[in-house]
């Protein structure tokens, strides 16, 4: 091999430009042929006197021959490694194109090799990638993506982007690096390193979001079709996510009440409706300051479109108190749905519908007391719930808040008689106002009185009393439901499904890392979140199947276990002047094999791949 200088003249400016090519010489019979392997560019970082050294180093790495050359020049070695990686990824060197069969050899093959020449050239993760690829196939995702108009390359790019979101959630720039350096996904999808760029990944995410309605409907139908039990529950809730940055280019990024206590950041709202198995039926993005009750109508319209004409009954809507306004409850009834929700009101007077209460257990085994009651002026029925564990919890929270609130009042009162402390009328009222805002739940129970010296403009004394009549019973709350024939246990079990949507939000935000959001424009923000929702559907499918087989791993645990399965490239010198390259996929350990068996997936994409390069 050698490096050839090429000059080209610009016809418009008259300037002459020089760049270099790597040329490979070989014989066909008695004739010598030359092949340009790679354009090396201007090679400005390397003097011409070292070009032969670079060519020799590249040839040595490609053929695996030993040489007296020692890569003491770091610049030469770094360039050689980069060019060799590009040549191998593109299959440009003749030896790279001669492959044998993949998998277990049909016949036994023996080679005499030099043990000292055995070298592990690269090692990549493949377990999680192989798990995701098989899950995509099971869910019919490739066919669904082609249905949206994507070509084969775009389908592969989208699947690799989803794989990265599932295993290594990060930006498109970091995803590109991970795919090229750490993951075996590019090989699984038969793509090339040089064609896998962050720009194509951005394009895939954008194309995916343009077909959101079709993909959401079809994917939900496929997911639910894989399970025999049909869900008759719609669990609806709304959350928000915060941004990093000022977000001046985003229309939907607004300041609001953050559910993650990040009110210093702009937010975006996400509403989701899921079924009892945790699959997403509906999702919608809103501005960060959206009112929760106003989002219910869009969800009902979407669910109505999904329902088939053959369905005998509509699902029960389960929601939290924040959405369950009187107006929304009336709207649900008008649409023909039943509902179960947490009551926004705490009725002081009610009539018991049964003589004895029913005793149940919550998901942690704590005893709870439930009893059906009716409230005057309300058409639906209430379930009165008492929990001893909740009493202890609320009592502890109240005592802590009360202690901190009164400590601040005492500190302020003591300062009225001390120099250089707050005592003027307006600053004292402002200080107490801040306390009431900070401890709003207990402050509303207090009556605070002041003694003021108007001539001096100061407060001379502060007194306070806790009004017991304003306190609500601890450990008690009410559920509202419209289907009167439900038993206490059925109502309680249906309400407990509302924790599923909280689990979905937790998976999206933590396991799939969709927040904080660093994108600055809505055109990238919305595809970023939508990509996470599709990835969640895959996660939920895998976890539901594993749960049926008594495997209750979190997604983070599953990913950690799958990373133990790797693929590695090993090379060695044969006695017959050949360099043998063997790519091996490791055998899964017991935990990983159990996951594959539960899902009925193959445990390896291949056993080995072998190729032989003749030494030059």
Query: For every residue of 347-391, which 3-state class applies, written as one string?
Result: CCCCEECCCCCEEEECCCCCEEEEEEEECCCCCCEEEEEEEHHHH
Domain membership of residue 147 (yes or no) is: no
Q: How many CB atoms lie under 10 A from the CB of residue 59?
A: 20
| 399 Ramachandran zone, left/alpha/beta (phi>0; psi -120 to 50) | alpha
Q: Rounded mean pLDDT of 194-217?
A: 91
Q: Does 595 map to a domain? A: yes
* Neighbour-count burial of 265, counting CB atoms closer than 10 A to its CB (0-12 exposed, 13-18 middle, 19+ buried): buried
Q: What is the pLDDT of residue 614?
A: 65
Verify that 456 and 353 share a domain, yes or no.
yes
62 inside domain: yes
Burial level of 531, CB count in 10 A (0-12/13-18/19+)? buried
Per-residue pLDDT, 426: 94
Helical H segments across 364-487, by residue range: 388-414, 425-438, 440-443
pLDDT category at 71 given cuts 50, 70, 90 is low
Write down the pLDDT at residue 350.
87
Specify if 535 maps to a domain. Answer: no
Q: With respect to residue 478, please indicate whether it lies within any of the assigned structural domains.
A: no
> Are 429 and 376 within one domain?
yes
Q: Is residue 451 part of a domain?
A: yes
Residue 96 pLDDT > 50, yes or no? no
Q: Are 278 and 540 in contact (CB under 8 A)?
A: yes
Query: Dihedral angle at the C-alpha atoms of 167, 170, 176, 180, nearest 10 degrees?
Result: -40
Label residue 79 by pLDDT band (50, 70, 90): confident
Q: Are residues 245 and 325 in the same domain?
A: yes
Domain match, 318 and 280 both:
yes
The residue whose two tokens read 């509509």 is: 314
The answer to whether 24 touches 38, Cβ cutoff 8 Å, is: no
CA separation (Å) from 349 to 333, 375, 382, 425, 469?
A: 25, 7, 12, 42, 15
Structure tokens at 50: 């070292």
Mean pLDDT within 10-34? 76
Rounded to whole angstroms, what are the CA distances from 334 to 318, 328, 338, 339? 16, 10, 10, 12
Q: Parallel, antiparallel, or unpaired: how do β-strands 476-481 and 458-466 relate?
A: unpaired
Q: How far apart are CA 237 and CA 231, in angstroms?
A: 17
Alpha helix stretches (DSSP H) within 9-112:
51-63, 74-90
Residue 547 maps to a domain = no
Structural domain that includes position 322: 230-335+497-520
Question: Do 432 and 452 reside in the same domain of the chain?
Answer: yes
Tell me which of 3-17, 363-377, 440-454, 591-605 is least confident.
3-17
Among 18-32, 291-305, 442-456, top mean pLDDT goes to 442-456
For position 102, what pLDDT does the model report? Answer: 40
Q: Are residues 380 and 444 in the same domain?
A: yes
Are 455 and 352 members of one domain? yes
Q: What is the pLDDT of residues 226-240, one digit of tens each?
A: 876 666 888 899 999
For residues 393 and 424, membership in a common domain is answered with: yes
If pLDDT is split at 50, 70 and 90, which confidence band does 425 have? very high
Same domain, 319 and 259: yes
318 and 372 inside one domain? no
Q: Summarize the confidence of residues 539-548 as an average pLDDT.
A: 93
**Paired tokens of 51:** 């070009």
Whether residue 411 sits in one domain with residue 362:
yes
CB atoms within 10 A of CB 301: 11
- Domains of the chain: total: 4
Q: Let me know if residue 369 belongs to a domain.
A: yes
- pLDDT bucket at 501, cuts 50 / 70 / 90: confident
- Pick the residue with more confidence: 500 or 583? 583
Same domain? 423 vs 516:
no
């Amino acid at each position: 091999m050698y490096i050839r200088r090429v000059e080209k003249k610009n016809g418009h400016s008259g300037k002459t430009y020089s760049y270099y090519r790597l040329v490979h010489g070989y014989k066909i019979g008695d004739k010598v042929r030359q092949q340009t392997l790679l354009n090396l560019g201007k090679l400005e970082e390397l003097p011409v006197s070292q070009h032969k050294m670079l060519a020799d180093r590249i040839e040595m790495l490609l053929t695996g021959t030993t040489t007296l050359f020692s890569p003491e020049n770091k610049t030469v070695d770094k360039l050689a490694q980069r060019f060799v990686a590009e040549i191998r990824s593109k299959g440009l060197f003749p030896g790279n194109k001669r492959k044998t069969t993949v998998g277990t050899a049909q016949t036994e093959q023996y080679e005499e090799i030099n043990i000292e020449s055995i070298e592990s050239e690269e090692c990549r993760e493949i377990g999680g990638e192989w798990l995701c690829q098989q899950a995509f196939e099971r869910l019919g995702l490739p066919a669904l993506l082609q249905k949206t108009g994507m070509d084969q390359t775009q389908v592969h790019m989208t699947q690799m982007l989803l794989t990265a979101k599932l295993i290594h959630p990060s930006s498109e720039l970091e995803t590109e690096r991970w795919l090229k350096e750490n993951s075996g996904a590019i090989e699984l999808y038969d793509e090339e390193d040089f064609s896998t760029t962050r720009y194509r990944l951005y394009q895939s995410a954008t194309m995916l979001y343009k077909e959101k309605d079709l993909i959401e409907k079809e994917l939900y139908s496929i997911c639910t079709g894989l399970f025999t039990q049909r869900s008759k529950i719609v669990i609806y809730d709304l959350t928000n996510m915060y941004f990093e940055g000022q977000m001046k280019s985003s229309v939907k990024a607004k300041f609001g009440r953050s559910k993650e206590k990040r009110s210093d950041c702009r937010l975006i709202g996400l509403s989701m409706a899921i079924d009892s198995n945790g699959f997403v039926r509906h999702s919608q993005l809103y501005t960060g300051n959206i009112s929760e009750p106003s989002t219910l109508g869009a969800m009902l319209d979407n669910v109505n479109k999904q329902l088939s004409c053959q369905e005998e009954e509509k699902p029960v809507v389960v929601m939290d108190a924040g959405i369950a306004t009187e107006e929304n409850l009336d709207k649900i009834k008008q649409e023909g749905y039943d509902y179960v929700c947490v009551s926004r009101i705490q009725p002081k007077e009610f009539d018991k519908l049964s003589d004895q209460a029913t005793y149940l257990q919550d998901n942690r085994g704590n005893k709870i007391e439930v009893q059906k009651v009716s409230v005057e002026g309300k058409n639906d029925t209430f379930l009165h719930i008492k929990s001893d564990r909740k009493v202890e919890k609320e009592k502890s929270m109240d005592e802590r808040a009360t202690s901190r609130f009164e400590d601040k009042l005492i500190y302020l009162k003591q300062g009225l008689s001390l120099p250089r402390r707050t005592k003027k009328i307006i600053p004292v009222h402002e200080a107490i106002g801040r306390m009431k805002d900070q401890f709003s739940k207990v402050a509303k129970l207090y009556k605070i009185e002041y003694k003021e010296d108007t001539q001096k403009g100061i407060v001379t004394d502060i007194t306070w009393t806790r009004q017991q009549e304003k306190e609500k019973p601890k450990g008690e709350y009410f559920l509202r439901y419209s289907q009167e024939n439900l038993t206490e246990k059925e109502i309680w079990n249906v309400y407990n499904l509302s924790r599923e949507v909280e689990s979905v939000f937790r998976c999206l935000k933590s396991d799939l890392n969709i927040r904080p959001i660093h994108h600055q424009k809505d055109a990238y923000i919305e595809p970023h979140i939508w990509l996470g929702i599709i990835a969640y559907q895959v996660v939920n499918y895998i976890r539901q199947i594993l749960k049926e087989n008594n495997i209750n791993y979190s997604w983070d645990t599953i990913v950690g276990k799958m990373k133990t399965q790797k693929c590695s490239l090993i090379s060695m010198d044969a006695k017959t002047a050949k360099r043998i390259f063997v790519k091996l996929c490791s055998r899964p350990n017991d935990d990983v094999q159990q996951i594959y068996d539960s899902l009925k997936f193959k445990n390896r994409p291949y056993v080995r791949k072998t190729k032989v390069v003749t030494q030059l």
